[in-house]
Amino acid sequence: MNVKRLSRLSLTLAAALTVGQAFAATRGGQLTFGRYADSLFLDPVLNDANLDIWILTNLYDTLLQPTNDGKGVQPGLASSYTTSKDGKSMVLTLRPGLKFADGSALSASDVKWSLDRARNPEAGAWNSSLASINSIAVSGNKVTLNLKRPDPTLPAALATFNAAIMPQKLFTAAPGKNDAEKAKAFAEKPIGSGPFVLSEWKRGSYMVMKRNPYYWKKGDDGKALPYLDSVRFEIIPDDNTRILKLQAGELQIAEFIPLSRVAELKADSRLNMTLFPSTKVNSILMNNRPKLNDGTENPLSDVNVRQALNYAANKDALIQVVTYGTGKPMKSYMSATTPLFDAKQPGFPYDLVKAKALMAASKYKNGFEVTVLATSGNADDLALLTALQQMWGAIGVKLKIEQLDAATKTARYRANDFQMRTAAWTNDINDPSQITTYYAVFDNIESVHTGFKSAEIDKLFAQSQQELNPAKRAAQYQQIQSLYLKAAPIVYLYETPYPVAMSKKVKGFFQIPLGNNLFAGAYLEK
Amino acid sequence: MHASYVIRRLLQIIPTFLAVMLVVFLLVRLLPGDPASAILGDRATAEIVERTNRELGLDRPLPVQFGVFVRNLLQGDLGDSISLKIPVLRLIGERLPTTLFLTAYAAVLGVLMAVPLAVVAAVRRNTWVDGVIRAVFQVGLSLPVFYVALQLLSLLGARLGWFPIGGYGEGFGEHLYHLFLPALTLGLNLAAILVRTLRNSIIEVLTAEYVDFARAKGLRSRVIMTRHVLRNALIATITLLGLNIGALIGGAVITETVFAIPGVGRLMVDAIFGRDYPVIQGLTLTFALIVSLVFLITDLIHARLDPRAELS
């Protein structure tokens, strides 16, 4: 061995050691996390709210998992999966020795049972994500999904919370006459195979999850994750109180920091004010129908008007006013973090001249008055709409703001009884199909009740749902995004991040673009 | 006699209860929006909303729904929360003690602040002392509760670190410690209301003939104040306190939110926003019961202090 090689070797070794040290996570301890509201119901199939979804993945694991960047999926309980050539079946291989948090074995039959439950059309709001499955067969540690049709969204669907694997024996042993009753009982003390297990829950006050000693994933030190002994969620609805508690050291993480306070907290040397990339898009949904419910003519049915409103909205200014500079303009109806987002989409850059020309070309040359539904008590909605009042005033559109509580607002637009409404969206799955079925496809809920309908988009979307060639599918989505932009059924506003403030001691915590809070790799530096 | 009066009053609560029940049942159903949409969010399809409504029994005619509600109520069952999927009775059982503790704590602090200050203000009436006391409480009354709450939190909680920022703690001692700032917030508001009334009553009583008589007898002023003046002046104040305890329980909403206290005030707000009918109904009945009982107790104390008050 010559000297050069030896020194290179020792350099490599030294580098490896430093890298090892740099990644050496501290084990143990409790992390306290301030949430704005408590979870409601911890069943992966029968729940509906982000409050549940965003922490479920810590309790229940899925066969595949979304990647932290939001772009795809990675192995979970299944170490690998293969799709047949005709796309009509998928085989997943489970890791050896998997266990639930109570120490009992996780078998392929638990997988079959869980997925059968999740895809039952009578259960929950999410079964359609697994609708392409025709039947499930198991043998040893292999699970075979036989499909009705090729389904490019299936890997992402298997990485989504509702496809979580649950212990069949424990669930069926729970008291109750039917699935719903058993779910109620089971969800009070759920056992899954995620990194943590629920140990205490005082509703409305706090929840404690302790580490699952049987979790399969290993940390950088080669030992089982998670690093933390426990995570404690404190429910603190008031934004200011949550921040005060963080600053006083009573919390290590506080979520949903108001965007107005991001700059101030960034300047706090004890804190790590983080803006996690999200799939959140903020827009104004417009009623595209020719007539309103009361029979009057609807100016928003004119595509010139809709485009004019889009061009007249100065996104950069709105981003400053409403998001304090933390947002970025929407270029497509889907966020830039959504797979198959087309980066070449132009969006609607601010162009008052164009907006005026479009208004002049419309039936409403002299302008009109339009009412927008806002969520009462929402400061962001008010800031946004008062700014838009001025911007749209420049093209002769008079904006009236009607403030309603969320349930009333929902009731109004479900009945198509609205002209415009503020809206935000986050994806639940690492695939563009979900937002597309809601925003662009009429048949689901009339394109989020805007009434927008495009035969071309419907056709392209149907094709994309069976297209296994990634390049072809991307091209279909590119076209859908372009067609949608041209029709402008919504007012494109901005994308916003998830603002999370953390003590500098917190390392390895992640909120992925879907919103899930991941504590498996989190630790507290001493 | 007292016993029969109490029984009669308790029986009177029943029709009140029935009326409250019917009104609330109808009112929550008059609200725009339904529980299914509220829990399922913006994205639910019409079929899923319909299915959920069917599962919740909300597709049945109103009289049938009301019948089911009353039947279950007679069996001591308030139904399950729609969003949390646990029995309403259990939810209230978990949350109500916290709110009652906070209310009682606030009432005690409020009275402890109000009585001595009202006495001082009345005795030194129209002096600068009186002016300062009245001015301070006038300002206190006009400041929004959430503002006072946040100021107390950031000063005594965050800056000085004397009290925890929010939460409830475990056990009586910790409750006292954790709930001090929220109780003080509510207590200040209550004291502001009480001081004015009590001061005026004291002044009124001080000018009464029997006080002059007591003075003429040579009784010491402290004895006059506690035995004669306060006893009489408190009568009106106790009625006012009773009225305000009902308001305190309802008004704990803001305090509970700012101080992150898991009480029924916050539960009610969440239930209204979520159109969680069973929780709204259950809580309204509970509030009605508490207010009725507080009024009864107030009347009994009133009668005790003022033998002229007839219990009929």
- Rounded mean pLDDT of chain B? 85
Closest CA to A428 of A153, A231, A33: A153
Give the confidence band of A70 by pLDDT, cuts at 50, 70, 90. confident
Q: Quick check: B39 contacting A, CB < 8 Å?
A: yes
Q: Do A203 and B154 touch (CB under 8 A)?
A: no
Least confident of A32-41, B126-135, B222-231, B274-283: B222-231
Closest CA to A193 of A157, A217, A174: A217
DSSP state of A127: G
Token pair listed for A414: 């479900």
Give the confidence band of B113 by pLDDT, cuts at 50, 70, 90. very high
Give the confidence band of A3 by pLDDT, cuts at 50, 70, 90. very low
Tell me the C-alpha distance between A357 and A373, whole Å: 27
Least confident of A388-402, A457-471, A512-526, B155-169: B155-169
Pairing of strands A523-524, A517-518: unpaired
Q: What is the pLDDT of residues A89-130, one digit of tens each?
A: 999 999 999 999 999 999 999 999 999 999 998 887 888 899
CB B7 within 8 A of CB A14: no
- Give the chain A residue whose CA is nearest to the CA of B275: A407
The pLDDT of residue A20: 46
The letter for the amino acid at B15 is: P
Three-state DSSP state, A442: helix
Higher pLDDT, A152 or B76: A152
CB B170 within 8 A of CB B209: no
CB B115 within 8 A of CB B109: no
- Give the chain A residue whose CA is nearest to the CA of B32: A408
Q: What is the span of the domain harbouring residue A26?
A: 3-252+505-524
Kindly state the average pLDDT of the residues A47-58: 87
- Give the chain A residue whose CA is nearest to the CA of B82: A40
The pLDDT of residue B34: 83
- Statement: residue A495 has pLDDT above 90: yes
Q: What is the pLDDT of residues A165-223, one digit of tens each?
A: 999 999 999 999 999 899 999 999 999 999 999 999 998 899 999 999 999 999 988 89
Q: Do B273 and A48 touch (CB under 8 A)?
A: no
Please name the residue that has the structure tokens 């006699």.
B1
Q: For A410, which of B37, B86, B94 is closest by C-beta distance?
A: B37
Beta bridge partners of A503: A271
Kindly state the average pLDDT of the residues A145-163: 96
The pLDDT of residue A401: 97
CA dist list (Å): A20 to A14, A17, A23: 10, 5, 5
- Statement: residue A2 has pLDDT above 80: no
Ranges of each domain in chain B: 88-311
Kindly state whether residues A239 and A298 are assigned to the same domain. no
- Statement: residue A25 has pLDDT above 80: yes
The pLDDT of residue B225: 76
Beta bridge partners of A230: A30, A210
Q: Looking at beta carbons, which residues of chain B come within 8 Å of A203?
A: 84, 86, 91, 94, 262
Closest CA to A348 of A332, A367, A328, A365: A332
**Alpha-carbon gap: A295 to the closest alpha carbon of chain B (Å):** 21
Q: How many domains does chain A have?
A: 2
The pLDDT of residue B309: 65
Token pair listed for A510: 């992640």
Three-state DSSP state, A247: helix
Q: Do A234 and B167 touch (CB under 8 A)?
A: yes
- Statement: residue A22 has pLDDT above 90: no
Kindly state whether residues A128 and A229 are assigned to the same domain. yes
Write the CATH number for A464: 3.10.105.10
DSSP state of A109: H
Higher pLDDT, B31 or A389: A389
The pLDDT of residue A172: 96
Kindly state whether residues A243 and A303 are assigned to the same domain. no
Q: Do B157 and A248 touch (CB under 8 A)?
A: yes
**Alpha-carbon gap: B215 to the closest alpha carbon of chain A (Å):** 53
DSSP state of A239: H
Q: Is residue A267 part of a domain?
A: no
Kindly state whether residues A222 and A317 are assigned to the same domain. no
- Give the chain B residue whose CA is nearest to the CA of A125: B48
Q: Do B165 and A49 touch (CB under 8 A)?
A: no
Three-state DSSP state, A501: strand
Give the confidence band of A23 by pLDDT, cuts at 50, 70, 90. low
In percent, how much of chain A has pLDDT > 70?
96
Q: Do B153 and A241 touch (CB under 8 A)?
A: yes
Q: Please list, in sequence order, all residues whose beta carbon lies within 8 angstroms of the beta carbon of residue B186, skipping any fewer than 6 positions away.
A: B102, B103, B106, B109, B110, B145, B248, B251, B252, B255
Cis peptide before A226 (omega within 30 of 0): yes
Q: What is the pLDDT of residues A399-441, one digit of tens each?
A: 999 999 988 998 898 889 999 999 999 999 999 999 999 999 9
CB B280 within 8 A of CB B272: yes
Token pair listed for B298: 């107030």
CB B99 within 8 A of CB B263: yes
Beta bridge partners of A21: none
The pLDDT of residue B8: 86
Q: Do B164 and A406 touch (CB under 8 A)?
A: no
Q: Is residue A271 part of a domain?
A: no
Four-point Cα dihedral A35, A36, A42, A46, nearest 10: -150
Per-residue 3-state assignment (H helix, E strand, C coil) for A373-385:
EEECCCHHHHHHH
CA dist list (Å): A379 to A287, B146, B259, B270: 24, 16, 21, 19
Pairing of strands A253-254, A230-235: unpaired
Higher pLDDT, A403 or B166: A403
Q: By a Cβ cutoff of 8 Å, what residues of chain A touch chain B?
A: 37, 40-41, 48-49, 122, 125, 180, 184, 187-188, 202-205, 234-238, 240-241, 244-245, 247-248, 250, 405-408, 410-414, 423, 438, 444-445, 448
CB A165 within 8 A of CB A110: yes
Least confident of A175-189, A223-237, B46-60: B46-60
Kindly state whether residues A304 and A228 are assigned to the same domain. no
Q: Which of B28, B85, B168 to mutate to test the interface with A (most CBs of A within 10 A)?
A: B85
Q: Do B165 and A414 touch (CB under 8 A)?
A: no
The pLDDT of residue A490: 98
Q: Do B83 and A41 touch (CB under 8 A)?
A: yes
Q: For A445, which of B31, B43, B85 is closest by C-beta distance?
A: B43
Kindly state whether residues A7 and A90 are assigned to the same domain. yes
Q: For B157, which of A244, A412, A423 is closest by C-beta distance?
A: A244
Q: In which element (H, E) is residue A398 found? A: strand A397-404
The pLDDT of residue B55: 84
Please name the residue that has the structure tokens 């007292």.
B2
Tell me the C-alpha distance between A324 and A333, whole Å: 22
CB B6 within 8 A of CB B296: yes
Kindly state whether residues A113 and A239 are assigned to the same domain. yes
DSSP state of A176: S
Q: Is residue A25 part of a domain?
A: yes
Give the confidence band of B128 by pLDDT, cuts at 50, 70, 90. very high
Where does A169-296 show beta strands of DSSP type E?
A: 196-202, 206-211, 230-235, 253-254, 271-286
**Alpha-carbon gap: B213 to the closest alpha carbon of chain A (Å):** 56
CB A245 within 8 A of CB A257: no
Q: For A241, which of B38, B42, B165 is closest by C-beta distance?
A: B165
Q: Quick check: B58 contacting A, CB < 8 Å?
A: no
Nearest-Å Rg of the Cα atoms of chain B is: 24
- Give the chain B residue whose CA is nearest to the CA of A251: B165
Cβ–Cβ contacts within 10 Å for residue A83, how many?
18
Tell me the C-alpha distance between B189 and A351, whole Å: 53
Write the CATH number for A206: 3.40.190.10
ipTM value? 0.86
Kindly state whether residues A349 and A374 are assigned to the same domain. yes
Tell me the C-alpha distance between A242 and A186, whole Å: 31
- The maximal CA–CA distance of chain B, rounded, in angstroms, is 84
Q: In which element (H, E) is residue A420 found? A: strand A420-425
Kindly state whether residues A232 and A147 are assigned to the same domain. yes
**Alpha-carbon gap: A306 to the closest alpha carbon of chain B (Å):** 22
Half-sphere exposure of A285 (CA within 13 A, CB side): 29
Three-state DSSP state, A91: strand
Tell me the C-alpha distance between B27 and A134, whole Å: 46
Q: Is residue A245 part of a domain?
A: yes
- Statement: residue A18 has pLDDT above 70: no
**Alpha-carbon gap: A57 to the closest alpha carbon of chain B (Å):** 19
Fold of B88-311: MetI-like fold (1.10.3720)
What is the distance in angstroms between the CA of the first residue and the CA of the last residue of chain A?
Answer: 42
Kindly state whether residues A66 and A207 are assigned to the same domain. yes
Tell me the C-alpha distance between B48 and B56, whole Å: 12
Tell me the C-alpha distance between B44 and A413, whole Å: 12
Token pair listed for A82: 């293969």
- Rounded mean pLDDT of chain A? 93
Give the confidence band of A19 by pLDDT, cuts at 50, 70, 90. very low
Please name the residue ranges forming H helices in B124-170.
Answer: 128-142, 145-152
- Statement: residue A16 has pLDDT above 70: no
Which conformational region is residue A254 in: left (phi greater than 0), alpha (psi within -120 to 50 degrees), or beta?
Answer: beta
**Alpha-carbon gap: A237 to the closest alpha carbon of chain B (Å):** 6
Q: For A236, which of B39, B95, B166 is closest by C-beta distance?
A: B166
Q: Looking at beta carbons, which residues of chain B come within 8 Å of A378?
A: none
**Alpha-carbon gap: A46 to the closest alpha carbon of chain B (Å):** 10
Three-state DSSP state, A315: helix
Least confident of A126-135, A262-271, B13-22, B90-99: B13-22
Q: For A411, which of B34, B83, B150 is closest by C-beta distance?
A: B34
Q: Taking a contact as any Cβ pair under 8 Å apart, which residues of chain B between 184 and 243 contact chain A?
A: none
- Statement: residue A6 has pLDDT above 50: no
CB B157 within 8 A of CB A244: yes
Please name the residue that has the structure tokens 């010139």.
A304
Tell me the C-alpha distance between A336 and A73, whole Å: 17
Kindly state whether residues A207 and A308 are assigned to the same domain. no
Give the number of residues written for chain B.
312
Closest CA to A70 of A466, A432, A451, A508: A432
Q: Looking at beta carbons, which residues of chain B come within 8 Å of A236?
A: 166, 260
Tell me the C-alpha distance between B65 and A295, whole Å: 34
Tell me the C-alpha distance between A119 and A109, whole Å: 15
Q: Which of B43, B53, B145 to mutate to test the interface with A (most CBs of A within 10 A)?
A: B43
Q: Do B40 and A125 touch (CB under 8 A)?
A: yes
Q: Which of A40, A402, A416 to mutate to test the interface with B (most CBs of B within 10 A)?
A: A40
The pLDDT of residue B20: 87
Q: Do B260 and A238 touch (CB under 8 A)?
A: yes
Q: For A41, which of B84, B95, B167 is closest by C-beta distance?
A: B84
Tell me the C-alpha distance between A243 and A36, whole Å: 11
Q: Do A407 and B273 touch (CB under 8 A)?
A: yes
Counted across chains A and B, CB pairs separated by less than 8 A come out at 116
Give the confidence band of B212 by pLDDT, cuts at 50, 70, 90. confident
The pLDDT of residue B224: 76
Kindly state whether residues A372 and A434 are assigned to the same domain. yes
- Statement: residue A7 has pLDDT above 60: no
**Alpha-carbon gap: A249 to the closest alpha carbon of chain B (Å):** 10
Pairing of strands A206-211, A196-202: antiparallel
Q: Do B165 and A406 touch (CB under 8 A)?
A: no
